[in-house]
Amino acid sequence: MDKNNSLYLLEHVSANALSNSFEALSLAKVLREELATFISKNSSEKEEDILKRIDKSYLDEFKRQLENVEDPLREFLEPLLKKVKETEKS
């Protein structure tokens, strides 16, 4: 397949993004558990409460970041998707 083909590039960028996302998620889950265990051992706070607090902080930050990315990402993807549809038609 032609490496200059936009579908080929989109496929590989998507595959890399997915792979990186799974790796980051795995790492974040392990670090979340380790952090909760560490804090719990060095404070009077229960591990369960720490995990709830971490999850809430993460969700709040995720929502903020999503708002910052949503419009630029849409502006980037819409022309690309349009080009893909045009390519599929021909």
| pLDDT score at 23 | 96
Per-residue model confidence (pLDDT) at position 57: 94
Angle at 48 between CA 23 and CA 65, to 5 degrees: 45
CB 1 within 8 A of CB 8: yes
Tens-place pLDDT, residues 22-68: 999 999 999 999 999 999 999 999 999 999 999 999 999 988 888 88
Please count the residues of the chain.
90
Query: Which run of H or of E encompasses 43?
Result: none
Measured distance CA(27)–CA(83) in Å, rounded: 35
